């Protein structure tokens, strides 16, 4: 038997019940006195736990003195025992240090990889920022405003915008009300006729297509559903990369803005384009009268125009405040953006030059042009009133007080009925052209975060915060 510490045959062998190893008694007692553990496995050990082993004992000489060779040998033996203990302790410390060093090297390697990735992302962000050229332009009576790419639209997009304006502006104010359009009497009888289950929580986005049957519905779960009002079910699901902030139809294409700053275009349920021009949340999207030009605004103080015919960014214009809402003039030559600074900012679509600014009482949450091309409706955040601005005089001609907070507005095609929606319900404000007066033919307690007119204003579609769609129609 050999001692587990010294490696020599023990004079007084004992066994540890913790590890089953044999030790020289004096060595293990010395180790226990210092550490209180088994030197092999590190378990708690006391001298009382040691088990004596019967063996042939070697008769040791009588205690020598330092004046004889045996006494010197005894001293050397004791020194050897101490050295054996120290060597064993050093071996254990070395093994522990190696394990700690290995862990530290692993953590250092992981930190280096993270730093390398962050450095790469920082360099990419700096490069992207360096590619943005910022200039300053001064509009008449409007102070300084920052703009980017203020050279105007590409020639192909510019021609489509000009042709659309020329075609739509002729006789706009003399248009007759289309046959079959809803009357004030019919609207006054509207009642909720159907309501879906909650579709998408935190519903904010609602847009009804030109047929009046398909509605885009989106919320905070990064999904937009194409909801069929006739089938009363979701017929398609569109996945985006963040909470949905707004959505609109551009013909048969669905355009979706998200809080991640992306604008995605879907056709027949498949993603056909994705844009990331905004450095922050996209707050609103709108479609131009051409049907293939779309605008988005964001907290990065810019609005972006996209050409869906080529799936490219046509221009990006920067202003002096974060933008919260957007809408195109029905002729397509102007675009209005609502600022967090309480200003309605109107720009020339073709050049990006500021055309006018209207002051509101707070951040401009909602905007909508009347189809007659004369009026602009605007709502400040958490306001109960709608401001009606005359574009010809740049003056606020009417303030409509609905008595409850307004979250969404929608003007019908004829310019007669202005629909409002909020947490306390929906209202319809009617403008009578002959008398130039306003009235309220309809009010309902159906809560809504977003509202839209159905086909021929024969119905109202409302989306509430829980993501449920409610349809209100006339009652016989």
DSSP single-letter state for residue 414:
T
Average pLDDT, rounded, for the chain: 88
Provide the pLDDT for residue 459: 93
Provide the pLDDT for residue 143: 39
Residue 138's pLDDT band (cuts 50, 70, 90): very low
Using a pLDDT cut of 90, give the percent of the chain over it: 62
| Same domain (yes/no): 55, 203 | no
SS3 62: coil
Residue 178's pLDDT band (cuts 50, 70, 90): confident
CATH number of domain containing 40:
3.30.40.10
- pTM for this one? 0.69
CATH number of domain containing 362:
2.130.10.10
| Residue 148, domain member (yes or no) | no
Name every residue whose Cβ is closer than 8 Å to that of residue 181 and which is 6 or more positions away in sequence: 413, 414, 456, 457
| Same domain (yes/no): 328, 458 | yes
| Same domain (yes/no): 306, 452 | yes
| Same domain (yes/no): 312, 190 | yes
Residue 475's pLDDT band (cuts 50, 70, 90): confident
Name every residue whose Cβ is closer than 8 Å to that of residue 136 and which is 6 or more positions away in sequence: 144, 145, 146, 147
DSSP single-letter state for residue 382:
T
Distances (CA, A) of 258 to 16, 118, 200, 275, 395: 69, 25, 14, 11, 34
| Same domain (yes/no): 442, 308 | yes
- For 442, left (φ over 0), alpha (ψ -120 to 50), or beta? beta
In this predicted structure, the answer to whether residue 3 has a pLDDT above a threshold of 50 is yes
Domain that holds residue 303: 155-168+180-474
| Residue 68, domain member (yes or no) | no
| Residue 46, domain member (yes or no) | yes
| Residue 85, domain member (yes or no) | no
Burial 337-353 (b: 16+ CB within 10 A, else e): bbbbbbbbbbbebbbbb
How many domains does the chain divide into?
2
Q: Among 40, 59, 78, which residue terminates a domain?
A: 59
Average pLDDT for 226-250: 93
Q: Among 59, 76, 96, which residue terminates a domain?
A: 59
Using a pLDDT cut of 70, give the percent of the chain over it: 92
Name every residue whose Cβ is closer than 8 Å to that of residue 310 and which is 6 or more positions away in sequence: 156
Average pLDDT for 195-202: 89
| Residue 301, domain member (yes or no) | yes
| Residue 30, domain member (yes or no) | yes
Phi, psi dihedral angles at 130 (to 5 degrees): -70, -20
Instruction: Tell which wins on pLDDT, 318 or 203.
Output: 318
| Residue 115, domain member (yes or no) | no
Please, what is the angle between helix 25-35 and helix 69-130, to 10°? 40
| Same domain (yes/no): 54, 201 | no
| Same domain (yes/no): 223, 359 | yes
Provide the pLDDT for residue 137: 35
CA distance 421 to 463: 9
Residue 305's pLDDT band (cuts 50, 70, 90): very high
- For 316, left (φ over 0), alpha (ψ -120 to 50), or beta? beta
| Same domain (yes/no): 258, 366 | yes
| Same domain (yes/no): 445, 297 | yes
CA distance 217 to 203: 7
Q: Which of 165-169, 242-246, 371-375 has the highest mean pLDDT?
A: 242-246
| Same domain (yes/no): 262, 384 | yes
**CA dihedral in degrees (78, 84, 86, 92; nearest 10)?**
-160
Q: Among 41, 59, 77, which residue terminates a domain?
A: 59
| Residue 88, domain member (yes or no) | no
| Same domain (yes/no): 48, 189 | no
Provide the pLDDT for residue 59: 52
Per-residue pLDDT tens over the stretch 33-81: 988 889 888 899 999 999 998 876 655 555 555 677 887 888 888 889 8
Provide the pLDDT for residue 141: 37
CA distance 81 to 8: 10
């Amino acid at each position: 038997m050999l001692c587990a510490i010294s490696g020599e045959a023990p004079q007084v062998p004992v066994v540890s019940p913790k590890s089953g190893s044999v030790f020289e008694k004096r060595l293990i007692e010395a180790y226990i006195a210092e550490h209180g553990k088994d030197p092999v496995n590190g378990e708690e050990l006391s001298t009382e736990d040691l088990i004596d082993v019967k063996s042939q004992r070697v008769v040791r000489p009588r205690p020598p003195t330092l004046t004889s060779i045996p006494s010197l040998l005894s001293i050397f033996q004791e020194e050897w025992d101490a050295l054996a203990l120290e060597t064993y302790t050093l071996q254990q410390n070395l093994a522990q240090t190696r394990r700690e060093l290995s862990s530290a090297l692993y953590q250092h390697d992981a930190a280096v990889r993270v730093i390398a990735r962050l450095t790469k992302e920082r360099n990419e962000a700096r490069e992207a920022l360096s590619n943005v050229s910022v200039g300053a332009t001064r509009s008449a009576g409007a102070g300084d405003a920052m703009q980017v790419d203020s050279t105007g639209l590409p020639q192909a997009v510019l021609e489509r915008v000009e042709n659309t304006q020329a075609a739509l502006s002729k006789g706009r104010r003399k248009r007759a009300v289309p046959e079959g359009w809803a009357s004030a009497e019919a609207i006054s009888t509207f009642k909720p006729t159907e309501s879906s289950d909650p579709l998408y929580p935190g519903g904010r986005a609602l847009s009804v297509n030109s047929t009046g049957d398909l509605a885009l519905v989106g919320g905070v779960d990064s999904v937009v559903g194409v909801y069929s009002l006739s089938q009363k079910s979701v017929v398609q699901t569109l996945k985006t990369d963040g909470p949905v902030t707004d959505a609109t139809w551009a013909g048969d294409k669905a355009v979706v803005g998200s809080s991640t700053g992306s604008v995605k275009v879907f056709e027949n349920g498949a993603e056909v384009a994705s844009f990331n021009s905004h450095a922050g949340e996209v707050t609103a999207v709108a479609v131009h009268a051409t049907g293939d030009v779309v605008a988005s605004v964001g907290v990065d103080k810019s609005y972006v125009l996209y050409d869906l015919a080529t799936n490219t960014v046509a221009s990006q214009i920067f202003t002096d405040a974060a933008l919260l809402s957007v809408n195109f003039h029905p002729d397509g030559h102007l675009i209005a953006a609502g600022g967090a600074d309480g200003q309605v900012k109107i720009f020339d679509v073709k050049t990006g030059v500021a055309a006018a600014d209207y002051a509101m009482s707070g951040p401009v949450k909602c905007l909508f042009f009347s189809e007659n091309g004369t009026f602009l409706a605007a709502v400040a955040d958490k306001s109960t009133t709608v401001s009606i601005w005359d574009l010809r005089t740049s003056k606020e001609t009417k303030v409509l007080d609905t008595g409850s907070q307004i979250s969404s507005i929608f003007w019908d095609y004829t310019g007669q009925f202005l629909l409002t929606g909020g947490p306390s319900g929906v209202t319809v404000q009617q403008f009578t052209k002959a008398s130039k007066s306003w009235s309220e033919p309809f009010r309902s307690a159906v809560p809504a975060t977003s509202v839209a007119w159905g086909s021929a204003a024969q119905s109202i579609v409302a989306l509430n915060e829980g993501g449920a769609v409610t349809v209100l129609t006339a009652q016989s």
